[in-house]
Structure 1
Amino acid sequence: MRFVLASQSPSRRMILESGGVTPIQHPAHIDEDALLETLSDESPATTVCALARAKATVVAEQFPDDVVVGCDSMLLLDGKLQGKPLTVDSTIERWKTQRGKTAELLTGHAVCFQGKWVEETISTTIHFGDVSDKDIVAYAQSGEPLQCAGAFTLEALGGWFIDRIEGDQTSVIGLSLPLLRRALYSFGLSASDFWR
């Protein structure tokens, strides 16, 4: 029995490895934009969880006897879900909008084991610092935040610009270890079953 991560995220892999687990990384390729269009009337929490479930479903079909986890994170800022900024200019614009504000980072999780599912969205409150224009440009140009929900990482350069969080730190990085522990227990498994 193995732990399969339906993601190519180095941050999610790092969380698992720091927790003693060496996952198989098997990214799921889904049309996120098309799925988001079908979810336009859903709540933000339901939306991110549906994205996580879609990713886990694709991978679970290939690993039916293993624990598979799919995740998706988005920032809820001023009532609107924000995905990855993808470009330096978009990152700069995003940071100029979010600096000094409070937002919710939503991470949807879908965990599957032998046809049983645990699905949940973890919400963590992020208090963004009042960051200078110079630091915003330098951070965007570093490339680090371009592929990150909320245009920041908590565990690297972005940590300079987050005043505080309220909630699950591992969920902000991309994968909630407490949620995974509860999911494994519900399947009759233990976290230590996967420690190397």
Structure 2
Amino acid sequence: MRFVLASASPARLSVLRAAGIEPVVRVSGVDERAVQESLSDPAPAELVTALATAKAEAVVERVAADFDEAVIVGCDSMLWVPGEEGDELVGKPATAELAARRWERMAGGSGELLTGHAVLRLSGGTVVDRVGDHLSTGVRFGEPSAHELDRYIATGEPLRVAGGFTLDGLGGWFVNGVDGDPSSVIGISLPLTRSLLARVGVEVVSLWNRAESVEQAPSRADSGSVV
């Protein structure tokens, strides 16, 4: 059985590789705006889960042509932050100006990152089960100086990620803490993905396929404290 990641995110790929999985990557190319517009006043959790599901569903035909047995994982993240007219749910900032305005509001405060995941199980090239859920993680932001913020936005990183920040990249310098699952802030929650896989009858350990992760892992008998 193959683990298929329906995302082009290098951060999600990095998390999975570090956790023992070399996934097959199939980029969904979903029109996120169209998905949002198809929903009638969705709750934030409903929206991120619907987007994750749409991404997973979009690659089914291509995956089924290559693999009889597979699990497809779709992900989406958005940040719930104080806005100019009340709290708002935001994705990737469209412009550097928007990224700067968002950071001016977030600095010194906190936000809630909502991560939606969907898992589809294929058997015999056909979807036989599908589940979806979301996870909420609190993020406490630092207060970058005006010069630091200008330099950060000039890198282009904030424009490529939900909420305009990263935890595992340059933005990590300006995050004071995370309350919850750090991997969900990076882009794919390992605990939530494991739970969803179990719900479709797949143990995550059966998907470990990076040889070095298995070969180098110490046994319980060999493990001990290192100072």
Normalising by the smaller structure, the TM-score range is over 0.9
Of 96, 104, 107 in structure 2, the residue corresponding to residue 99 of structure 1 is 107
Matches within 5 A, 1:1-196: 1-64=1-64, 65-78=69-82, 79-114=87-122, 115-196=128-209
Shift of 1:138: 0.8
State the number of aligned residues: 196
Shift of 1:187: 2.5
The percentage of counterpart residues that share the same residue type is: 46
Name the stretch that deviates more: 54-63 or 106-115: 54-63
Letter in 1 for 2:91: G
Kept in 1: contact 2:131–2:200 (CA 8 A): no
| C-alpha distance in 2 between matches for 1:76 and 1:39 | 18
| C-alpha distance in 2 between matches for 1:161 and 1:38 | 35
Shift of 1:3: 0.6
What is the TM-score of this pair, normalised by structure 2?
A: 0.82
Letter in 2 for 1:77: V
| C-alpha distance in 2 between matches for 1:116 and 1:26 | 19
Letter in 1 for 2:52: A
Kept in 1: contact 2:49–2:76 (CA 8 A): yes
Shift of 1:40: 4.9
| C-alpha distance in 2 between matches for 1:61 and 1:113 | 13
Shift of 1:188: 2.4
SS in 2 for 1:61: helix
Letter in 2 for 1:164: G
Letter in 2 for 1:103: G
| C-alpha distance in 2 between matches for 1:38 and 1:13 | 29
Kept in 1: contact 2:70–2:121 (CA 8 A): yes
Deviations 1:44-63 (A, max 9, x none): 11001100111101112332
What is the TM-score of this pair, normalised by structure 1?
A: 0.95
SS in 1 for 2:62: coil
Deviations 1:122-170 (A, max 9, x none): 1101111122111111111112221100111101211111111111110
User: What is the alpha-carbon root mean square deviation over aligned residues?
Assistant: 1.3
* Structure 2 unmatched ranges of 5 or more: 123-127, 210-227
| C-alpha distance in 1 between matches for 2:155 and 2:29 | 26
| C-alpha distance in 2 between matches for 1:93 and 1:100 | 14
| C-alpha distance in 2 between matches for 1:132 and 1:67 | 44
| C-alpha distance in 2 between matches for 1:147 and 1:158 | 12
| C-alpha distance in 2 between matches for 1:189 and 1:41 | 34
Letter in 2 for 1:67: V
